[in-house]
């Protein structure tokens, strides 16, 4: 069964974008199902495009760590290649402490609104925003949000719900809306 995970990681790096995206999706869903212990959920068979081998695969913790290492490697070293999908996949690792990785990725993708926004979505799916708001406030002060309109709007919505998140950068608060 390990060959399936290794094969998906290999295909994730493929130049064929459709195959790569399909592998990233399968890896993310495998991790999600493992972490949430949803091995009896038949909906995953459909999500795996009726691939019974992938559906029957039960990950070990080592395989989950291997997937995480490879997703992070791709995000850090192959910047912009399927980055939105990889950022989505990162949001499946609910049992890992990867906040520092997110903070580094925000700096790397500070000019790519789509990736930055997906990183935000993934971060919020893993962490309680109230617990990390101070860290985010500090890190986001260093980012010019003028090129990140969608991310800026999402953060403004979050700040209205979570008072702890206070975007303080002047251009963040006063940037024109579309």
CA dihedral in degrees (46, 61, 119, 115; nearest 10)? -70
User: How confident is the model at residue 166, as a pLDDT?
Assistant: 60
Looking at residue 93, what DSSP letter applies? -
* pLDDT category of residue 164 using cuts at 50, 70 and 90: low
User: What is the reported pLDDT for 165?
Assistant: 63
Pull the structure tokens for residue 22.
Answer: 């399909």
| Residue 172 scores a pLDDT above 50 | no
């Amino acid at each position: 069964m390990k060959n399936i995970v290794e094969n998906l990681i290999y295909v994730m790096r493929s130049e064929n974008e459709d195959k790569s995206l399909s592998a990233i999706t399968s890896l993310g869903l495998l991790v999600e199902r493992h972490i949430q212990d949803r091995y009896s959920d038949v909906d995953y068979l459909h999500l795996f495009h009726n691939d019974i081998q992938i559906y029957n695969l039960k990950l070990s913790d080592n395989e989950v760590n291997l997937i995480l290492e490879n997703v992070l490697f791709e995000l850090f070293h192959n910047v912009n290649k399927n980055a939105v999908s990889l950022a989505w996949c990162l949001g499946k690792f609910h049992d890992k402490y990867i906040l520092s990785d997110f903070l580094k990725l925000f700096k790397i993708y500070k000019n790519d609104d789509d990736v930055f926004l997906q990183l935000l979505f993934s971060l919020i799916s893993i962490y309680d925003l109230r617990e990390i708001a101070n860290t985010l406030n500090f890190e986001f002060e260093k980012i010019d949000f003028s090129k990140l309109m969608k991310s800026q709007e999402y953060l403004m919505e979050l700040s209205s719900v979570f008072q702890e998140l206070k975007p303080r950068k002047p251009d963040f608060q006063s940037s024109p809306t579309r």
